[in-house]
Each structure stands twice: as C-alpha cells, then as structure tokens.
Chain A
C-alpha cells in the first residue's frame, strides 16, 4: 500500500539531538504564516520554494556558465572577478537580478555545485519515510523518532497528518514542532498521532504578538490549552530574543501559563537567539531586519532558567 500524498519539504536532517528525545530525523515543511524578523530560517517562510544563491559555491563562468545558457529571463549576470575560497583563484561568478527572475528554477537544475538551488522539493510520504526508516536502530537505542517542523508544519496540515499517521503506524515516536498559529480544527485530526508537541511561546502580550510575529497570541494560547486538555505531552519552546521578548514580564507570564498546563507540560526549552541564519537572508534576496544585538550570554540564560525553575519547571537550555 503506497502512500503517495505529497508535500513541499524544505529539508530533512538526520541525527538531530535537541528536538525531542533521543536521536531524531527532522522533517522541515515549507511555508510559515508568521514573519518574525529574527527568524533563522527565512528561506522556509515562503509558501512555495524559492531560488536561493550561495555564491561561495559558484565555480565561475570560465569553467561552467551553464546557468547563463538556460536562463530565459536574462536574470543572471557575471560578476567582476572575485576570489573563490574553494577554488583558491579569481573567478567570474554569477549574480542574480531578482527583478527579472521568474523563479522557474531552470538554472538550479544545471547548477551542480549548488550555488543556485531551490529551497524545497516535493516529496511523497513514502519517500520521506524511506529516509526516516534508515535510522530506526538509533531511534530504538535512544528513544528517538521523527520530528515534523517547518516553516510552520501546520501550513501543510494534511501532509503533516499523513506523515504522523504513517510514523505511528510504523511504531515511531513522533513530535510536532509548531508555533500554534493555525485554527484548532486543523490540529484536531492530528492529535492521536502526536506523542509530543514542541510548542513555541514567544510573546504573550496580544498587541506585541500581532506586531512582531503577525498573529494574535490568543489563537496560540487557545490551541495550547486544548492540547493540554487532551493530556498530550508538551515541551514549551521559548526563543529568547534580546529586546523583543526577553523582558521579565513576558517570561514570567509564559512561566505562569506553563504552570497551567498541568501534567501535560513535559519541560520548558529555552532557545537563545543566534545569528547563524543571517547569511540565508542574502541568499534569497531578503534583508535581515533584526537590529544588531548580541546573543544572550550564558549568564543571562542561566538567569532566565532560574526564573522558570522558581515556578517548579524542568528547564533545558538549547
């Protein structure tokens, strides 16, 4: 019995260690309705795949230039000679004019060094499961399994449903990593197939929530309490973003909400802001709008950890 329902997969990462118990395989689904400007994965936000450029991998038109031959929009240009760290010589690389680009993806198909690539690809459940199954042994040794993440995986709720159902059928531990921002009606059918929710709480103040992430916190909290009522384990994830949501008031409110989850609360995971995603903005032609701030120090993270622990929570950092 083949399961051929398909979805847009942004990435699959095996051997992830911090996204639920044990060794896991993460399935990142494309698309997110939020627009957090500190996002470390901006290329996963769009609802369709996008053309991305990673200039360091370009081998130069002297040796290649295949993309120039196939681009019908004349959106690709040669740069001035630039030094390639990989080839250790000056090359004439490629730059993309996004105003002319139609995102047809033809160039990515011939770019073997992957300097031009498409951010997602369509995969069916069976294709995904084939990869997931490869590490079954490691899941069994560590209590790991599959984690569906995004983007916001609930943008592709039907595909997420199929993946979770198939994983449970195969006896795997399942986790769903969500920001809680879609209608409750979409969550309900999934619930029997989710062993653990990784649930983001960013900003509780409704006005600030709408301003910074583009969704009212009331929807997020409504879904959260509904899940808690069903007694499904929840790991609350709090990204700690300096000057956006790291004020004591917000954090204390989150901690109080966690308390209300009762037995459903598994633990609280604090995720310190980092800048590893910044270069990704450039790759897809976006500007990184996050004001320059330093990632929270170890000391600061410990302080926040204590704050949550005072409410009796089991807290992990990172």
Chain B
C-alpha cells in the first residue's frame, strides 16, 4: 500500500520530467563497472557444469520415499546448500548459476538421455552455433549418473504414457518439434511470476503465509488436505532454502572483505554481505536490495527447473517505488541506478542452458523477457524513469539478455517512442514492441479481469500473460509449442503422406491429383490440421500431467499468486489463470502455397494437380521455369494483395480456431503464431512446396513474409500482417521487419519509423520488431543474395535493392554501415 502511494505521488512529477526531457536523463553510456564485467563476460566461453546434476541425483535417491512435492523442495534445498558459489571482482549483484559464469547446469530429472547421446555424437564443444565446453571429468560425471535416470525422467514418463496413435503421429509426421525419444526436452519455463511479491514480502513473509494457512487448516483430515499440507510444507522448505542460500553469499562476502586489500572494494563487499543477510529473507527497502532480491529469485527459479523464458516482466513497474524513494531521499543517484541495472543485465546474460541439437538457437537465448511501459492496472500510462534506464542499459550493455520489450498504447508519451527509436537504431533487434490496444482486449477475450489484463507482461518470445497470476505454459510441453502448418498442407495435397519419404504421416484425405476444386484442397488442409491439433493436445496434456505428478515446482509456487491461498502447487493449477500456449509456424508459406495451387492449377490451369504433385515430389527437378513463374506471377503474402492475404489469414484462422477448442488438465489452449527459430528445422524436414520453396529450405518466420518475396516495402508488409486476426492469437504473433540504417537516418527516418509503427498498431497489429540490418547481415546478404532479395538500401530520393548493386558498391555500403556502427 505504501509503495502504491509512492508511485502515485511521483506520477505528476515524473510526467513533467518526461515531457520536459531533463538533461540528466540523457544516456551517458555504459558505466565503467559494467564495462569491465561485460569484457570479462565476453572473454568467458560457455561450458557445461555437472555439479547440479550430481547433487540432484544423490538427493533424489536420499528422498526416494517422499511425495514428489516434498522431494522437489528438498532437492532444491540441497542444490542451494551444496553448489559452489562465488563472487566476482567488481560485482555489485551476486549469485551464480554454475561453477563458472555462462556455464550450463544439467537438469537430469527432466530429460537426460539426449545429453549423453550428444556428448558422443554431436559434441557440444564442436557445435557450429552455440558451442559449450565440456571436460572429461564432467563427461564422466554425467555418464555415471545416467543409469539412475533411465525410465525416471519427465521425458521418459511422458513418452510411456502416450497413446499409441499419438506416439505414431510423432514418429511419422513433421508437424511437431517432438521426436520419438525427446518429447519433453526441458523442464517447464515460460512464465512471469510475481517478483513484486518476493521483493515486497520477502521469503520470511511468504513462509509466514504458509504457516498461517497450515494453522487454519489444523489436522489435515479432509479429502485432499494431506496433499495441501505437504505442499505448504514444501513451500516452507523452499523459502528456507532461498534464505540460507543468500546467507552463504553474505558469509562469503564477509570473508572476502577480510582478505580484500582495496578499501573501496572492501566496503562494497561488506555492503553486499549486509544486503544478502537482509534479502530475499525480508522485504527490500532500497533499490540495491530490491535488485539483489530480484536476482536471487530469478536465479533460484533458473535452478529449480530448466525451462526457458522465465520472464522478469514489468521490471520498471515493481522496481520503481524503490528507485523513486532512494532518489527522493538522496541515497541513490540516477547513475547509480543505471549501474545496478547494467550489472543485472550482465547477470541475466550469464544464465545459460543447453538444449538438444536442432533446437539450438543462435547466441544462447534464454528469452528472459523484460518489458517496460504500457498501462498500469487502472489503465493509466505507466511509463517512468526506470523504463528509460532499462532501455539505456540494453543499448549500453549490448548483450542478448534480457530480451527487452516495450508496451505501447494510445497514451504512450512521445519521449518513450523516441527512446525506442534510438535503441532500435543500434541494431540489436530490440526492443520488441507490443500493442496494448490489441493485447488487452485479447486477454479479456480469454477471461482475464480488466486489471489483470492491463498488467500483462510478455513471456519468452511474444506471449502475453498477466504477470504473477498466470501459469500459461506458453512454451507448451518441454518448450515445444511449435506446430508446422506447411507440414499439414503437405499431407493435405498428398493423401496424408510425406512428399520426401512417401510415408503415411496423417490421415488419408485425398490427393492434389484428384481434387476437383480449390475448396477440396482447403477441406483437406482443415482435416489435417484438426488431426494434428488433437494429437498435439494429447501430447502436451500428457506432459502436463507427468509434470504435476513428478516435477511440481514448490519454489515457483512461492512467487505465483494464489498458490498458497489455494494450497495447490502451480503445476497442479494453483495459479489464478492457467493455460497452454501453442505456436503455429509457416503461415506465410501455407498462404503462398494455397495461392499458387489456386492460380496455377484451378484458375489458370497452367499445370495440372497431378503434374504439380509429381514436380513437388521431384523437388522441382527440371522445372526451374515453372518454379520461377510461380515466384514471379503468383501473389505473395506480404505485398498487401487482397486475395493471398485473405488466404493466409484463413490458413491461420483454421489453426487458431481448432486450437482454441482444445482443453488441457489445468486450463484452455491459446494459439499463437511465432517460430522462435523453428522455421529453419521445420523447413528442413519438409518436401518442396507449391510456393516455389525447395525441399529443405527454411519456412517464413512468424507472420513475416517469406524472405525475399515482399517487394513493396515495409508498409505493404505491415498491411498484410494486419489482415490476420491478432486478437484471437492471444499466445502472440511475431513480425520481423528488416531495415538498413539508412532508412532510419535523421529526423525524417525517426519520425516515419514511429509513424509506421503507430499505423500498424492502429490496424490492430500485435507485435513488431525492427531489425536494423547491421554490417554482419549485409555480409551475409552478399554471400546469400537469395535470402535478401527484399533488402532495400535507401539514400535520399533513391532506393535500390542491395543484392542488385555492383559488388564494389555493396562493399561501400557495408563500410559505411560499419562506420555508423562504430560512431
């Protein structure tokens, strides 16, 4: 309550400051401390650490007879007691995930076999993208614990529980990201808990809540009360574990202070010690304490389960009361806050987890989404000084984490727009931008209260959910929400069979060789999507049930509203809102392919259905003319052309409407349209498609057009994308736009960038992310012109397609871009 008053009291003053544009709000560049930490960070290659795996394996055996909930709490406690801890030079925020920064711990209880397999067959240290160092000792540690986990992991138990037909749909189709041996690759992530609760209450306060609930319950004699009792006990163990973990750092800092000769650092270490003694056990009172409490919570969540996308959410909101109070009382200067935030950004970047080969993304993404701006619970603009500090920290630190995002609406102040444009121009591909005007109604449509809907954060890539209230499973089972729409189309035109292997993958629904009309093609597509959406639900529901049974999350439950009140673990539905998210991939490819079938086979009869089918089976062999003709003459999604855009929107809607009807053990399904990076692998396993794509080529990402097929500029892409129904895609949509920095130069560039965004958002677009193409990408465009046919370089009064330019000029432009990047 007190915090709330503080926020309100400051609001007027803050607004005034924002509009006046104070001189001290200017970004002064990275703090020297953060610079040192960043340099060290960059010099540390990622690796694999077996410590957690060893502790967990022993602890699981020690607590064999305990119910899962207590066992999980005690296992986490053991990890926090026994793992190595360290405090690095210059650090102000302390707490490590593994024995070395950027090393990945191992979580054998979720999924383990693939790790042993890849150690030998796809060595982690030799991966092209995202290698991880691993030494012989670590390998031998991991091999030793292998036998214990056989048949016990969440992955094994899920596979064992699947109906036969569903298991076959995994083995035979290319619709999912699951494989017969890996259905649950990671633990559950994809949530944004209440950091506010942990920071304002402290774990002692949360522990107290659990104790009181136990007291009220008395002897757990009724119904399931024993389970409730055990859950609350697990919460208490988890709270104690967090508190003693912080105490270990306090002790270490004190000991280091004794040995420290530099007096300034000695003072810092003593301060760290006193902060770690206070938080996260007790409510934080200063900004520095709040940052440290935030970090312990985030870190322990990352150690409890190995899900990705554990998202800090509305950091600028829950941290603001501490910031403003410290600023008012004079114990903190704005630069001090900037420095602390930058230190946190480096800590967030240190978190690392391995994923199976093929799921590997580039640059070790952890998808810890942190969002600024937007509205408060009453619908007023929530932008504050910390929103700017966060955005500046991202451009100063320039590392991949957190995934920074901004919420925008009709009441967003112009100065925030300006800051967003400034950061966008740095070419980090961030911040990603989200439209309150679409997301809030979209969440209302899913039954959230208006206050909760306004208080949404983005989880992982693009998935909106009320922070602290929703256990949204937006990553589906084992971080695999992905669903390939082009695979469904492939089976729809080939009687349920794969074009590449001829194997029966889906139900038999007729063949393009026999269809008499375009309508029949659409019907077959609908049937295939229905079949796989249903089996997808079976898989994900099974994983959900297995997680409830064997891998509950008592520590997360401490920070998720209503779990303690209800006495139910978050995995069993303790949160206020429950859902399962999914992500359709390749909608642009389906739209373009259906358009090609309609125009070339049925409308203009350039090629017969059976001929086209054979051509696709042969991967366009000897048919380069037809392939190029389709690319040239068939309208493509992304060019603002009515017919194909409508077909793409239909293809997406089929998937979304069917997905909405699925029901999970805890709650409903929510469709989304985004790919992360799965459009690469999901394209790799498919045959050629009627849109002119060759077998194995990547699919389009999110709702962005296929690379190189959008030739009418960014407004056309924005218009096409806005024709999809973003409201029902409450698990998020993703649109990527590429720009050369020249397009954003000067005042004009900035003004129109803002205008273009506002235009898309006023047409109910949900998300957009502007990639300012850096010199690295331009080099790639030189090497792979086919992927960048749409890249336009603009100079005054003149634009040119980059790939069509003379190599010497390309070189010139790259050099110029590099100079701007340095400048």
Chain A residues close to B by CB (< 8 Å)? 13-19, 22-23, 40-41, 54, 56, 59, 63-64, 66, 85-86, 112-114, 134-135, 137-138, 141-142, 144, 237, 269, 271-272, 274-279, 316-318
Contacts and interface: CB of A to CB of B under 8 A. Distances in A.
Interface stretch (B235-243, B426-434, B802-810): B802-810
A14 B796 contact: no
Interface stretch (B181-189, B475-483, B627-635): B627-635
A272 B712 CA distance: 26
B147 interface: no
A316 B715 CA distance: 25
B332 interface: no
B785 A86 contact: yes
B558 to A, nearest CB: 46
6 contacts: A14-B713, A18-B794, A18-B797, A142-B752, A276-B798, A276-B809
B622 A63 contact: yes
A276 B800 contact: yes
Nearest to B748: A17
Interface residues of B, number: 45
B410 interface: no
A137 B749 contact: no
A15 B749 CA distance: 11
Contacts of A279: 804-806, 809
A64 B798 contact: no
B237 to A, nearest CB: 56
Nearest to B628: A112
Given A17-B748, A56-B803, A278-B806, A318 B796 contact: yes
Interface of B: 622, 624-625, 628-629, 631-633, 640, 712-716, 719, 743, 745-746, 748-749, 751-752, 755-756, 758-759, 762-763, 783, 785-786, 793-800, 803-806, 809, 812
Given A14-B716, A16-B799, A278 B759 contact: no
A13 B795 contact: no
B286 to A, nearest CB: 43
* Residue among B748, B755, B758 with max Cβ neighbours from chain A (10 Å): B755
Given A23-B755, A279-B809, A17 B786 contact: no
B749 A17 contact: yes
A138 B715 contact: yes
Contacts of A134: 640, 715-716, 719
Contact of A112 (B632, B786, B795, B809): B632
A137 B785 contact: no
Nearest to A40: B798
A73 to B, nearest CB: 21
B631 A112 contact: yes
B763 A137 contact: yes
A56 B805 CA distance: 10
Contacts of B786: 86
B755 A22 contact: yes
Nearest to A19: B797
Give the secondary structure class of A's interface: loop
B795 A318 contact: yes
Contact of A13 (B743, B799, B803): B799
A29 to B, nearest CB: 15
Pairs of residues from A and B, 6 with the lowest C-beta to C-beta distance, nearest first: A63-B624, A112-B628, A318-B796, A15-B713, A112-B632, A142-B755
B715 A14 contact: yes
Contacts of A64: 624-625, 628
A17 B640 CA distance: 19
Nearest to A141: B755
B735 to A, nearest CB: 15
Nearest to A24: B752
Nearest to A274: B795
A143 to B, nearest CB: 9
A318 B745 contact: yes
Contacts of B632: 112-114
B714 A15 contact: yes
Nearest to A237: B797
Contacts of A317: 796
A62 to B, nearest CB: 8
Contacts of A114: 632
Contacts of A18: 748, 794, 796-797
B806 A66 contact: no
A277 B793 CA distance: 12
Nearest to B632: A112
A54 B746 contact: no
A66 B713 CA distance: 30
A66 B625 contact: yes
Contacts of A271: 796-797
Nearest to A12: B712
Contact of A138 (B625, B756, B798, B800): B756
B756 A23 contact: yes
A22 B486 CA distance: 38
B624 A274 contact: no
A25 to B, nearest CB: 9
Given A63-B624, A279-B809, A137 B796 contact: no
Given A56-B785, A138-B759, A276 B805 contact: yes
Contact of B713 (A13, A41, A85, A275): A13
A113 B715 CA distance: 24
Contact of B755 (A63, A138, A275): A138
Nearest to B623: A63
Given A23-B752, A276-B805, 10 more contacts: A15-B756, A17-B749, A112-B628, A135-B715, A137-B763, A142-B751, A274-B798, A275-B809, A276-B793, A318-B745
Given A40-B798, A63-B624, A64-B628, A14 B762 contact: no
A272 B798 CA distance: 11
A59 B628 CA distance: 9
Nearest to A87: B786
B163 to A, nearest CB: 45
Contacts of A272: 796
Contacts of A142: 751-752, 755
Contacts of A17: 743, 748-749, 752, 794
A135 B756 CA distance: 10
B629 A112 contact: yes
* Residue among B633, B746, B783 with max Cβ neighbours from chain A (10 Å): B746
A14 B763 CA distance: 18
B753 to A, nearest CB: 9
Nearest to A14: B713
B795 A276 contact: yes
A71 B812 CA distance: 37
B697 to A, nearest CB: 13
Nearest to B751: A142
Given A23-B756, A86-B786, A276-B809, A137 B745 contact: no
A85 B780 CA distance: 12
A294 B755 CA distance: 35
A112 B625 contact: yes
A17 B792 CA distance: 13
A287 to B, nearest CB: 15
A316 B796 CA distance: 10
Contacts of A54: 804
Contacts of A144: 752
Nearest to B622: A63
* Residue among A86, A277, A278 with max Cβ neighbours from chain B (10 Å): A86
Nearest to B713: A15
Contacts of A277: 798, 800
B137 to A, nearest CB: 43
Nearest to A113: B628
A302 B745 CA distance: 16
Contacts of A269: 796
B574 to A, nearest CB: 45
Nearest to A54: B804
A262 B719 CA distance: 41
Contacts of B805: 276, 279
Contacts of B763: 137
A237 B796 CA distance: 11
Contacts of B752: 15, 17, 22-23, 142, 144
Nearest to A63: B624
